[in-house]
Structure 1
Amino acid sequence: MGNRLSKIYTRTGDAGETGLGDGRRVPKSHPRVEAMGEVDSLNSQLGLLLAELADAQAQWPALAELTTVLAPCQHRLFDLGGELAMPDYQALGTAEITRLEAAIDRWNEELGPLKDFILPGGSRLIAQAHLCRSMARTAERRCQQLNADEPLRGELLGYLNRLSDLLFVAARLIARRQGCAEVLWQAAEAPRG
């Protein structure tokens, strides 16, 4: 593996630029840095979801499967960040996308079809899974924005898309396994005119 961090601050970013793995210096507002930041934010929120799942497994042992599926995603998001930081580096492959799709299919069989729009909520765990889902969508948008100027590999973009799908289904599965009703959207009454 490459160099390890021995010094946390370098002062090289104080003027608003940061270094990429290929030696380039870019503004901290560069679309690549924005994409890296959103992937990092998603990874942090996913870490919180995993910690809360671990705490909840004593009461709801059936949640352990979610941890088994979601824990590797933190590592893959770190890999994805590496691909963004080092444009020639490749870490994600189609096997990981296939793994997510298999979990989505398996969980959807247990859940059955969705008949209503649902809102984030019902329990802290459900809401956290939805927060992760929405952050995955934001990371995907930032990567698509970067992709318009600097093409990214399809596996990277596909992974984020599938991860957001997985997190949506995970939120629904948490509700089912906690025995918690999902919060159904209630449309506003039509304005009287």
Structure 2
Amino acid sequence: CNIPYVACCSLKDVIYTTQHHRTLKIYTKTGDKGRTSLFTGERRSKFDSVFEALGDVDELNSNLGLVREYLKESEKKDALQDVSKMLVKIQCSLLDIGSCIATPLNSASDKQLQRTEFDENLVQELEQNIDRYWKELPELKNFILPSGGKLSCSLHVSRSVCRRAERKISSLLHAGEVSKDVAKYVNRLSDLLFTLARYAAFVEENEEVIYKKQ
């Protein structure tokens, strides 16, 4: 497996292997026939719903990395410094979520589940941040289009990718393969990204475009 794609192993395993075996390769050739491994060792087809969810979470993480690069270019980057730090933590949490998804609840051992258990307090932390930033925004009286500058739009893109990831994770939740805390986190994260998109436009003093029925 490649390192950002946490389907085959936990991040701790990757770090350990890298430190103790310098011959670690990015490619393994074990997935050339269209199947790959979960953290549990179970092999599934690459179009399995678990890997669909992992792919969307990985895509979301990449988009958030792009958001942070746009943030560095912002003339208001000093005022948005807390947002950048928060996004780094979220990106780390998304890697943890990848490990959770790759360790299905209904087939993993107790030891494996313990290693990949998701911290439910992270959901509450997202809610606190939503409330914190929403209070600083002007009242929302209309639907808005993704707008408000490059930074704001990149957050809207991340929000929509997050919603897609949530839909995939919801199917795993109903199948008993992922915890409700993981599903809650991704749900709250999309709300936070919407809030941050508006906050970025507000701080940068960019106009948000109002939806008008055509």
Regarding TM over 0.5, the answer is: yes
Q: Deviations over 1:16-45 (max 9, x none)?
A: 111111110000000001001100000000
The aligned counterpart of 1:36 is 54
SS at the partner of 1:40?
Answer: helix
1:20 aligns with 2:38: yes
Matches within 5 A, 1:1-193: 1-3=12-14, 4=17, 6-56=24-74, 58-87=75-104, 88=113, 89-188=115-214
125-134 or 103-112, larger mean C-alpha shift: 103-112
SS at the partner of 2:155?
Answer: helix
Q: Determine the C-alpha separation between the residues in 2 that align with 1:105 and 1:112.
A: 13
Task: After the TM superposition, list the runs of 4 or more consecutive aligned residues in structure 1 that deviate by more than 3 angstroms.
Answer: none
Would you say the 8 A contact 2:71–2:84 is kept in 1? yes
Would you say the 8 A contact 1:35–1:139 is kept in 2? yes
140-149 or 154-163, larger mean C-alpha shift: 140-149
Evaluate the alpha carbon distance shift between residue 59 and residue 107 of structure 1 in structure 2; reply closer, same or farther with a 3 A threshold.
Answer: closer
Q: Determine the C-alpha separation between the residues in 2 that align with 1:182 and 1:61.
A: 22
Structure 1: runs of 5 or more not aligned: 189-193
TM-score when scaled to structure 1? 0.91
Percent identity reads: 38
Q: Determine the C-alpha separation between the residues in 2 that align with 1:14 and 1:94.
A: 36
Would you say the 8 A contact 2:71–2:77 is kept in 1? no
Aligned residues between the structures: 187
